Structure 1
Amino acid sequence: IKHIVFISKENRTYDEIFGQVEHGEGDATLARYGSGVSFHNSNRTTSVQGADIMSNHLKIAFEFAMADNFYVDSDVSADGHRWLVNTYPNEWCETCTAASYGGNRSFDFNSKAPGVYAMNGAAGAIYPEDYNEAGSMWDHLERNNIDFFNFGFSIMFEPGIYDEKYKYEGLRHYINFPLPKPIWDRTSKQYATYNMAIPDQFRIDQFQKEFEEKWMSGQDTMPALITVIIPNDHGAGERPEAGYPFRESYMADNDLAVGRIVEYLSQTPYWESMLIVITEDDAQNGVDHIDAHRSILMLVSPWVKENYVSHGHYSFGSIFKTFWNILGIPYLNQYDAGASDLADFFSDTVNFRSYSALPADPRVFEPQKALDPFDEKFDWKALDESPVMDNKSDMIRESKEKDEYRLENREKEKN
């Protein structure tokens, strides 16, 4: 393997998507984004019966390999986006996260204090106050002369403005934040970071366009590592006028985007030496019958076992340990050094078949309707701001303590 593509998504548990997978340790009653799902909108005026929400995830798992014993180290997005770049939250981050999510920290526009001093919201990047001494994966890669390129990872600071007109950036920051030079120099300026107002379909359009220009033209070779954020499985409020009539619509958007990027990459000349790793930044917005931190981990490559579920115990450190083993560089910290690697996923038997993406159910998500506003002539100033990452009302609505998610209530329904 010479090329790695690391894809991060948002907030889902294992059971929500893979609970129905027969050869995995799942609870089918919790697979609300699986196959044959029925649901309605928040006003109960529209419903869908028997829909396949994340069909590409299920197909990819069937054709390639996945884990049913992978646990995110994070609790929420704020610390999750630290773990995702091979750093670990320090005391400052852990304290600020709890205070911010608890409603006791907010950004004061009138403050005369220099700097930020306190994280507020679910920042998707590392602040100077909690940057590890050894740095993150970006510093580690540069120190070891490994070429990489980034699409949307680790460049989102709070507070920010999440307006749809920032379709190429994702947001605008209220104040300047220092971005480490290794990632700034190697980050796409045409790919949107987290912003739920921007369809994942638009992100994949931009990814393919830039990939073609950079690494399919014959001038440059695909880097050893590419990072990509595809965040819309975070979910947000219903927007039927924009192609999202249900909360499930965001999951379908995300699923189609994942299917499209895997299909595209599997048809490039780099596929025969490529590994795609797909995971989540945290698992806070769903329910899982094993543990609240259990999430999805998929490996896609000609070199992984087919229709395979690995039962080994894995963490974010396992992902990075495998990356560094493949790239032949040292481990960055104690978390990747001490983790189990992902060797169990790989096979000596190679299969260079490409992947064919499944379309979204038009009852759930309309890709073209979601993309229509992204015409250059559209009136961007007339658009509303996007929901912020991990906003409180959204988290309450998706709370693990909702009555229909409680085990005792599900047991009553069975009886």
Structure 2
Amino acid sequence: MVATKRELRNHFDPEYPDFNTEYPDQLRVDQFLNEFEQFVRVRRELAGKASFSPARAGELPAFVLLYLPDDHTAGTRPGSPRPAASVADNDLALGRIVEAVSHSPYWEDTAIFALEDDAQDGADHVDAHRSIALVISKYSPGSSEQPFVAHQFYTTVNMIHTMEVLLGLPPMNQNDAFAPLMGPLFSGAGNQAPFAADWRNRNNGLIYQMNPPQGPGAEASSKLDFSRPDAAQASLLNAILWRDRKGDLPIPRPQHGVVPPNSRQEH
């Protein structure tokens, strides 16, 4: 990878793979963990010295942006990973990151925020622009057996404002300044146990499964542009993924919502 902005020079990993859905997210995580483990080793080596300062030991950057793009999938393009394989690969990659961080000295003061970059698929009775968001830290309430689910209405701006506060940064404008913080997701006792990645979809071979030559949507998928993020026609890719998962079941009509329901409405 090459820095395209001056601010990124010397602040990114040139060995980290760029957008390529043929490249497994497992290898992306391998690259991240190779670097992360160096920070962990330095911090542990310095921990016993009199001049030890947790704020500086290891010098792990206060903010790390890490992207795992394979859940974009390549549709049902022949020879590419199956959509289910791509998503399973992506899930395991995130699990490995959480496992590594939560078993390291950085678990004391690190929060992991994970969200999709372009929520638009998964149409059902709710507006498909809603998305999954995960917040993982030592102060997370709930547990792996009974996870905490926040039912407040949040947007990406709420997440940005929460990260700004954790980093001690001022808001960028009035939009993030007035966005409520995601406080309930840090309401735990501070004793969240470390996590372990779930390797079942590696062990059962799912993450290695490839699309067949003549599968549903194969021809259309072959014509889509997967060379860069969001270049593929979204509506067509969504239809291909729906058929791959649901067969001949009709695609639901899109639901659109402008504002969240208030407390007097039931949805």
User: Do they fold alike, i.e. is TM over 0.5?
Assistant: yes
The match for 1:285 is: 121
**CA apart distance, 1:215:** 4.8
The match for 1:405 is: 251
Q: Does 1:220 align with 2:66?
A: no
Per-residue CA shift, 1:203-260, capped at 9, x if unaligned? Answer: 0000000112345334732121111001111111447867x2x221100110110111
**CA apart distance, 1:391:** 3.9
With over 3 angstroms needed to count, the CA separation of the structure-2 counterparts of 1:387 and 1:236, relative to structure 1, is: same
With over 3 angstroms needed to count, the CA separation of the structure-2 counterparts of 1:203 and 1:392, relative to structure 1, is: closer
SS at match of 2:9: helix
The match for 2:97 is: 261
The match for 1:4 is: none
CA contact (8 A) 1:236 1:394 kept: no
Residue type at the aligned position of 2:34: K
Correspondent of 1:234 among 72, 81, 91: 72
Q: Distance in 2 between matches of 1:391 and 1:206?
A: 26
Q: Does 1:190 align with 2:53?
A: no
Residue type at the aligned position of 1:406: P
**CA apart distance, 1:285:** 3.1
Per-residue CA shift, 1:358-381, capped at 9, x if unaligned? Answer: 1143242239x9xxxxxxxxxxxx
Per-residue CA shift, 1:96-115, capped at 9, x if unaligned? Answer: xxxxxxxxxxxxxxxxxxxx
Residue type at the aligned position of 2:195: Y
The match for 2:178 is: 338
Q: Distance in 2 between matches of 1:299 and 1:215?
A: 22
Q: Distance in 1 between matches of 2:70 and 2:32?
A: 15
With over 3 angstroms needed to count, the CA separation of the structure-2 counterparts of 1:331 and 1:348, relative to structure 1, is: same
Q: Distance in 1 between matches of 2:30 and 2:6?
A: 26
Q: Which has the higher contact order (CA 8 A, sep 6+)?
A: 1
Per-residue CA shift, 1:250-277, capped at 9, x if unaligned? Answer: 0011011011111111111111211111
SS at match of 1:277: strand
Residue type at the aligned position of 1:404: P
Q: Distance in 1 between matches of 2:242 and 2:15?
A: 39
With over 3 angstroms needed to count, the CA separation of the structure-2 counterparts of 1:348 and 1:391, relative to structure 1, is: closer
**CA apart distance, 1:352:** 4.0
Correspondent of 2:166 among 309, 326, 345: 326
**CA apart distance, 1:320:** 1.3
SS at match of 1:220: helix
Q: Does 1:357 align with 2:188?
A: no
With over 3 angstroms needed to count, the CA separation of the structure-2 counterparts of 1:358 and 1:228, relative to structure 1, is: same
SS at match of 2:29: helix
Q: Does 1:312 align with 2:152?
A: yes
With over 3 angstroms needed to count, the CA separation of the structure-2 counterparts of 1:394 and 1:291, relative to structure 1, is: closer
Q: Distance in 2 between matches of 1:265 and 1:353?
A: 12
Residue type at the aligned position of 1:234: H
Residue type at the aligned position of 1:256: L
**CA apart distance, 1:398:** 1.5
Q: Distance in 1 between matches of 2:168 and 2:22?
A: 39
In structure 1, stretches of 5+ residues that fail to align are 1-168, 173-177, 370-385, 409-415
SS at match of 1:308: coil
The match for 1:300 is: 136
Q: Distance in 2 between matches of 1:330 and 1:390?
A: 31
More strand by share: 1
* TM-score of the two chains, using structure 2 as the length reference: 0.71
RMSD over aligned Cα atoms: 2.8
**CA apart distance, 1:394:** 6.4
